[in-house]
Amino acid sequence: MELSEYLRRIPKVSLHCHLEGSVQAATVVELARKHGEALPGGRTVENLYDYPDILEFLKVYTMVAGLMRDHDDFHRAAYETLQEAREHGVRYREMFWSPMAHMGAGVPYATAADGLVAGIRDAETDMGIQCRLIADIDRMQEPEAGLEMLDQVLEHRRPELIGLGLDYAEAGNPPEKHWKAFARAARAGLHRTAHSCEDAPARNVETCLDLLGCERIDHGYHVLEDDSLVRRCAGEGVLFTCAPVSTAWVYFGNDLANHPIKTMVKEGLKIMLDCDDPPMFGTNPSNDYAVAVEHMGLGPEEVRETVMNAIDGCWLDDTSKRRMRRDWGREIDALTVQLDASPG
Ligand code: ADE
Ligand code: ZN
């Protein structure tokens, strides 16, 4: 079996993928046409997903979010990304979404959430893929706006919505800015995670763990600048949800061979791999594994471990996780035998 086919078939848990960053360019074109709008920012379909840095990326991301307006748009976006995920071996996903981008465009929270939930339920019925949602705070906005979003999440609580996250540009927007929302989410029984050390000093990881009560860290690359924090995270088994392709693009000069993930693995940190905003960075849920194998020295053993790390760090119950570890472990071993047996 070819390596790419092997990596596509490996069963996966996805913990770092954004709904709005998963909308294919062709779908954006259709949404724009449906709503009688030009493509965001006067772009064409050829250069829609092209940006030099995180801030320009976030502008496009927000504009794409602004084209999702009714129940069907949200249903479609959720269903399509889960369809692609399933084709790349994802069986369970905890997916970020950005309610504040939709609320800012005048879409009621409940319209968006109900469309997503319907798409998720249909995807599970049709394809057997399970998905849960994490509502992300846009950290560039004021703390009061994050709290207002959380009010909506809690007022229109849906069983699929299980966590609170934090994203958008980290530099200048440290995690403590939104500590009140995280404290309230904890009291309301939501899980918590945050984008951290994507583009800011190591102490942000400490703040996320100790002040925000995060159960895992999204990205986390600059943790490597603090040896004692690295030792703490390794010792406590903190899971880092890493995205090689998107972050190489906007932060690390497209230098995959020198991406910090390689050192994180060497330092004994627990990582999993995911695709962040797949079409927006020209990737997909198995390509980020392929990149890690090709450029970061991961072999089948590390791929297996990465999948097991994602199972450990997801928010399913312990019985389900035990079953997944056992059954998927056997499946992965059988696939690896086929990989080893193939010529070359
Ligand atoms: N929103 C979507 N993708 C993101 C990323 N990589 N960093 C911050 N915010 C995001
Ligand atoms: Zn992300």
pLDDT in tens, 167-202: 999 999 999 999 999 999 999 999 999 999 999 999
Domain residue ranges in the chain: 17-168
Which ligand minimizes its atom distance to the CA of 218?
2
Q: Domain spanning 17-168 has what CATH number?
A: 3.20.20.140
From ligand 2's centre to the CA of 16, what distance in Å?
Answer: 6
Q: What is the pTM of this model?
A: 0.98
343: pLDDT strictly greater than 80:
no
Closest residue by CA, ligand 1 atom 1: 168
SS3 12: strand
pLDDT value of residue 42: 79
Span 239-260, average pLDDT:
96
Ligand 1, atom nearest to 277 Cα: 3
Q: What lines the ligand 1 site, CB under 6 Å?
A: 18, 21, 61, 167-168, 195, 198, 246, 276-277
The lowest-confidence range among 44-58, 117-131, 215-229, 316-330 is 44-58
pLDDT value of residue 342: 76
Span 19-37, average pLDDT:
97
71 CB contacts (<8 Å, ≥6 apart)?
A: 111, 114, 115, 118
* Residues 83 and 127: beta-carbon distance below 8 Å: yes
Closest residue by CA, ligand 1 atom 5: 168
Which ligand minimizes its atom distance to the CA of 197?
1
Closest residue by CA, ligand 1 atom 10: 168
What percent of the chain has pLDDT above 90? 96
pLDDT value of residue 344: 58
64: pLDDT strictly greater than 80:
yes
Two structure tokens written together for 111: 């319209």
247 CB contacts (<8 Å, ≥6 apart)?
A: 198, 219, 221, 259, 276
